[in-house]
Amino acid sequence: MKHSSNEALLARKAAATPRGVGVMGNFFADRAQNAELWDVEGRRYIDFAGGIAVLNTGHRHPKVLAAVQAQLERFTHTCYQIVPYESYIALAEKLNEITPGSHAKKTAFFSTGAEAVENAIKIARAATGRSGVIAFGGAFHGRSLYAVALTGKVAPYKNAFGPMPAEVYHVPFPSDAESLAEARKGVERLFKYDIEPSRVAAFIFEPVQGEGGFNIIHPEAVRWIRELCNQHGILMVADEVQTGFGRTGKLFAMGHYESQGITPDLMTSAKSMAAGLNLSAVTGRAEVMDAPAPGGLGGTYAGNPLAVAAAHAVIDVMRDEKLPERGQQLGDQLQTRLRSLQARVPQLADVRGQGAMVAAEFRHADGRPDADFTKAVQARALAQGLILLTCGMDGNVLRFLFPLTIEQPVFGEALVMLETALTAT
């Protein structure tokens, strides 16, 4: 097939699609394999974006391809609510088993992360008969109207889209002892100024904030949220859309707290669950999940059979290739490498991570966030062929979302590109 040039496609894109769909790359994908991607002009990239945390098993994992191909031969769509199929039930059974907590669980499937978040809140409202929801500043829970209300960042997500749905409240994100004290104060004030605890349905949080800057929640904060929820009959909702499926060194980030007996009441997953096919899920306490009446949950494409087939394969690959453990090793290597550069790159103010969810944060000498430096490193890395994403409330964080299946030589090559980009900027 003859391809258009990147330049010609950019012009057509500008004419045919709205600017609101902001696009990072000025090159267009042609094909991809595991951690590598080639554009329409044949240029090779190492993909440390993974379509925003979707490709923990890499591009086109052979087992995922085989599972989807086998399903393509049978049927591609019936709508589960019309003519159901076993693979949906089997995937729900698997998620009920592999998600943190040994209590009785049920799972419903949807298509996108935002949809999973929306439905988790619908379920929490139905189960509690309450309406309020608490979320964190800097959170990202999606772009649909209720999910964007939960998202704790105005520009660019909420600008011009208001008014937001009612009774969504934000408190500061607790990443250390100081911000935990702020979060506690924030909730005390909410209960004093805005809403009584007995009208709060859910407290939603990301165990590691994704878009917000790869901020790891303070372990004490997880216990605090659990106790607060227990005290007031609020449901604890962990949004694992970005942290799930091996990214943080465990299959799910909430697995880090399971040994302390802390588990969420509801959990969302999406992204890497189906390796690029559209699938999301809400998993939760069986009695909570059963609160909405028949017909209250679902969607035409929710639990699409091709995506469900992909998810079965992803779960097998996670286990067979020990991907959470491998992610931990790769994350450790990356953190070590970044730390070794801190003396030469004074802007590199912080290196942090949980498993393979690693971030590098850049600041000026006086402590102000340095978004320009961050962007410049991203651009230099891209010029060498390494795709990196930024994140953070101030755009001063680089995040690394490489496939956990990345070949060690390709990972090594990417680290050299990263080092060059950091030291030359």
Q: Does 100 bind ligand PMP (CB under 6 A)?
A: no
Q: How far is the CB of 111 from ligand PMP (least distance, A)?
A: 8
Q: What residues contact residue 297 under an 8 Å CB cut-off, 6+ apart?
A: 108, 119, 122, 123
Q: Does 310 bind ligand PMP (CB under 6 A)?
A: no
Q: Among residues 112 and 179, whose Cβ is nearest to ligand PMP?
A: 112
| Residue among 36, 39, 206, 265 that touches ligand PMP (CB under 6 A) | 206
| Residue among 134, 135, 229, 241 that touches ligand PMP (CB under 6 A) | 241
x-or-dash pattern for ligand PMP, window 52-71, by CB under 6 A?
A: x-------------------
Q: How far is the CB of 278 from ligand PMP (least distance, A)?
A: 8
* Helix H or strand E encompassing 44: strand 44-47
Q: Does 299 bind ligand PMP (CB under 6 A)?
A: no
| Residue among 64, 114, 148, 397 that touches ligand PMP (CB under 6 A) | 114
Give me the residue label for tokens 């660019």: 156
Q: How far is the CB of 315 from ligand PMP (least distance, A)?
A: 19
Q: Rounded distance, CA 231 to CA 103, Å?
A: 20
Q: Of all residues in this chain, which one has the CB nearest to ligand PMP in the complex?
A: 113
| Residue among 50, 113, 207, 255 that touches ligand PMP (CB under 6 A) | 113
What does residue 93 show for φ and ψ, rounded to 5 degrees? -60, -45
User: Interface residues for ligand PMP in 8-27 (CB under 6 A)?
Assistant: none
Cα separation values, 215 from 157, 173, 269, Å: 19, 9, 18
Q: Does 213 bind ligand PMP (CB under 6 A)?
A: no
Q: Rounded distance, CA 151 to CA 367, Å?
A: 26
| Residue among 118, 239, 361, 370 that touches ligand PMP (CB under 6 A) | 239
Q: Does 118 bind ligand PMP (CB under 6 A)?
A: no
Q: Considering only 134-142, 325-333, 338-346, 384-392, which stretch makes contact with ligand PMP by CB under 6 A?
A: 134-142
Residue 366, Cβ density class (10 Å: 0-12 exposed, 13-18 middle, ≥19 buried): exposed
Q: How far is the CB of 68 from ligand PMP (least distance, A)?
A: 19
| Residue among 210, 244, 255, 276 that touches ligand PMP (CB under 6 A) | 210
The DSSP 8-state label assigned to residue 217 in this structure reads: P
Q: How far is the CB of 242 from ligand PMP (least distance, A)?
A: 4
Q: What residues contact residue 248 under an 8 Å CB cut-off, 6+ apart?
A: 207, 208, 256, 324, 327, 354, 355, 356, 357
Determine if residue 39 is left, alpha or beta; phi over 0 gives left, psi from -120 to 50 gives alpha, anything else beta: beta
Q: Does 397 bind ligand PMP (CB under 6 A)?
A: no
Three-class DSSP category at 199 = helix
User: Interface residues for ligand PMP in 268-297 (CB under 6 A)?
Assistant: 270
| Residue among 211, 265, 361, 370 that touches ligand PMP (CB under 6 A) | 211
Determine if residue 392 is left, alpha or beta; phi over 0 gives left, psi from -120 to 50 gives alpha, anything else beta: left
Q: Among residues 117 and 127, whose Cβ is nearest to ligand PMP?
A: 117
DSSP string, 236-294: EEEE-TTTTTTTTSSSSGGGGGGGGT---SEEEE-GGGGBTB--EEEEEEHHHHT-SPT
Q: Among residues 215 and 378, whose Cβ is nearest to ligand PMP?
A: 215
Given the DSSP bridges, would you call strands 200-205 and 132-136 parallel, antiparallel or unpaired? parallel
Q: Among residues 358 and 417, whose Cβ is nearest to ligand PMP?
A: 358
Cα separation values, 114 from 216, 242, 293, 301, 367, Å: 21, 12, 21, 14, 34
Single-letter code of the amino acid located at 8: A
Q: Are 136 and 187 in contact (CB under 8 A)?
A: no
Q: Considering only 137-145, 332-340, 349-357, 392-400, which stretch makes contact with ligand PMP by CB under 6 A?
A: 137-145
Determine if residue 249 is left, alpha or beta; phi over 0 gives left, psi from -120 to 50 gives alpha, anything else beta: left
What does residue 222 show for φ and ψ, rounded to 5 degrees? -65, -45
Residue 188, Cβ density class (10 Å: 0-12 exposed, 13-18 middle, ≥19 buried): exposed
Q: Does 380 bind ligand PMP (CB under 6 A)?
A: no
| Residue among 117, 216, 235, 334 that touches ligand PMP (CB under 6 A) | 117
Retrieve residue 290's tokens: 């059963």
Q: Among residues 157 and 224, whose Cβ is nearest to ligand PMP?
A: 157
Q: Among residues 203 and 373, whose Cβ is nearest to ligand PMP?
A: 203
Q: Among residues 132 and 207, whose Cβ is nearest to ligand PMP?
A: 207
Number of residues located near ligand PMP, criterion CB under 6 A: 15
Q: Does 215 bind ligand PMP (CB under 6 A)?
A: no
Q: Which residues bind ligand PMP (CB under 6 A)?
A: 52, 112-114, 117, 140-142, 206, 210-211, 239, 241-242, 270
